[in-house]
Structures are given as C-alpha cells and as structure tokens.
C-alpha cells in the first residue's frame, strides 16, 4: 500500500466510524423518545369520535367504545399493520402514513387543528414546526391532542414508519379523572 492509498483508507475508516456513531446516536434517541412517552400517548376526548391521521393524508374516524368524556391512553401497540386485502376492501378505515407520524385529536377539534396546520405551513414552509410547537398548538386548540413518531423497525411494534395501518380501539383506555 502506498502513501495515497493509506491516507484514503484512513479517511474511509474515519467516515465509517462517524456514520456508525450517528446511527447509534439516532437509535438511542428514538428508543429514549419512545421510553419517555411510556409507549403511549394521552388525548382528551369530549366526543366519542377520534380522528387519526398523518399530516399530508386524510383522517380516519374511529368510534371509541363505551365512551365517556375525558382523557384516553392510546398505546403504541394499538397501531397495527393493515393487511393489504383489508386495505383494498376498507379504504375508509386505513391510516396512510407518509411522514412517520400519526396524529390523534377529538373529531370536534379536527377542522381547527387542520386550520392551524395550514397556517403554520403558510408562515414557515416547515411542517416540523407543527410538532415543535405542540404546547402552543394545544393551547390554541383548547384540547390535548397528541401524536406518535415512528421508532423505526422494531420487534414489538407494527408502526415502523410509512405505510398503511389501522387502530385497534379495544386497546384504548379511559384514564381516571
């Protein structure tokens, strides 16, 4: 190996090491994010209908069984892969995800949330601001909405990012006051 080849190999190894560090750092961040949310999100519902959607997509309506107004816990594992044949039969119940996020809001507040989304886009042209401004948006909305960010491929969750999903409402629980 001559001097140029040796220098080139050192650079390649250095770049690979940096890439590995970045990858490991991202994995830890994603795992921590899920852990910090305790594998669930909490939303406030005043109506029996929960709207579930990805920002560029259309919302899907889910009726909450045995509904009582209050706070509801939605576990990460309630997001299930939509079997392709089901996706074709029941297009209206499929959550299509294109950004790696799924949002949850009371149906009575859905239109207002989408208006806030459009305003933020017009102001910033940066949809990451929609999640970065969560507290301000929830205050303006007047109700607690929430969202999941995909943790990536993992053995215990179906929601791995972009794709088609359904919500298993039997896993949603009302929290005590």
55-71 residues labelled b (16+ CB within 10 A) or e (exposed): bebebbebebeeeeeee
d(CA 161, CA 107): 24
Question: Cα-Cα-Cα-Cα dihedral of 98, 101, 102, 107, to 10°?
Answer: -90
pTM for the full model? Answer: 0.71
Tens-digit pLDDT string for the chain (177 aa): 555 666 655 554 444 433 333 343 433 333 323 333 458 899 999 999 999 988 878 889 999 989 999 999 999 888 888 877 655 556 567 777 767 788 999 999 999 999 999 999 899 888 888 888 889 999 999 999 998 877 655 545 556 566 778 888 999 999 998
32 vs 41: CA distance, rounded Å: 15
Q: What are phi and psi of 164, to 5 degrees?
A: -115, 130
For the chain, state the CA radius of gyration.
20
């Amino acid at each position: 190996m001559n001097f140029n080849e040796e220098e080139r190999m050192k650079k390649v190894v250095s770049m690979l090491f940096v890439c590995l560090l970045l990858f490991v750092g991202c994995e830890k961040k994603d795992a921590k994010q899920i852990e910090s949310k305790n594998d669930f999100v909490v939303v406030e519902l005043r109506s029996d209908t929960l709207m579930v959607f990805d920002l560029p997509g259309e919302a899907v309506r889910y009726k909450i069984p045995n509904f009582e107004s209050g706070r509801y816990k939605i576990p990460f594992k309630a997001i299930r892969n939509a079997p392709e044949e089901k996706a074709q039969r029941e297009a209206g119940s499929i959550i299509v995800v294109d950004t790696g996020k799924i949002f949850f809001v009371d149906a009575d507040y859905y239109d207002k949330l989408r208006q806030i989304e459009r305003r933020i886009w017009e102001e910033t042209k940066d949809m990451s601001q929609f999640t970065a401004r969560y507290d301000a948006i929830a205050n303006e909305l007047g109700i607690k909405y929430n969202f999941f960010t995909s943790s990536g491929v993992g053995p215990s969750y179906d929601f791995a990012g972009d794709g088609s999903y359904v919500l298993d409402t039997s896993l949603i629980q009302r929290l005590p006051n």
